[in-house]
Structure 1
Amino acid sequence: MTDKLIRLGVHTSVKALEQNITAWVDGWNENPRPFNWTKTADEILHSLADHLTKMNPPTAET
């Protein structure tokens, strides 16, 4: 969804974006397909922890 709708789409407002996302979800639900994860849960959690550490680095306490 991200590549096809959000990154490549042109949205004139938040409401337009919400409508496009809802339409995408409705279309997906008409012909659902399983999502094949490319990483294990542990790999995803580790990646998330790394990302959060980069966003909120530990501060030195005095």
Structure 2
Amino acid sequence: MVEIFFGIITRQCLKRGTFSSVKDLEETMERYIENYNKDAKPFTWTKSAEYLLGKMKRKQTINTEH
């Protein structure tokens, strides 16, 4: 979930931004997060735990054939 949130910040806040200092970058991110939290929605898993665990198990089996 943290990686997803950082991806959102990167795309929506930082990608085309120009920052004159670290302080400017920090203030921009803080403003973005403040505004984001005003209308924040929880992340929703679209796959069940059983599906994800099964997928991991299948991938481990595939990767062991060297």
**Shorter-chain-normalised TM-score: which range?**
0.5 to 0.7
CA distance in 1, matches of 2:24, 2:37: 20
Q: CA deviation at 1:5?
A: 1.5
Q: Which residue of 1 aligns with 2:12?
A: 4
Give identity over the alignment, percent. Answer: 29
Q: CA deviation at 1:35?
A: 2.9
1:15-52 CA-to-partner distances (Å, cap 9, x unmatched) read 000000000110011110223568x5987xxxxxxxxx
User: Larger RCO: Structure 1 or Structure 2 (Cα < 8 Å, ≥ 6 residues apart)?
Assistant: 2
Contiguous gaps of at least 5 residues in structure 1: 44-62
In the TM superposition, structure 1's runs of 4+ consecutive aligned residues that sit over 4 Å from their partners are: 40-43
Contiguous gaps of at least 5 residues in structure 2: 1-8, 47-51, 57-66
* Paired AA for residue 38 in structure 2: E
CA RMSD in angstroms comes to 2.8
Q: Which residue of 2 aligns with 1:28?
A: 36
What count of residue pairs does the alignment treat as equivalent?
43
Given the two structures, how large is their TM-score scaled by the length of structure 1? 0.52
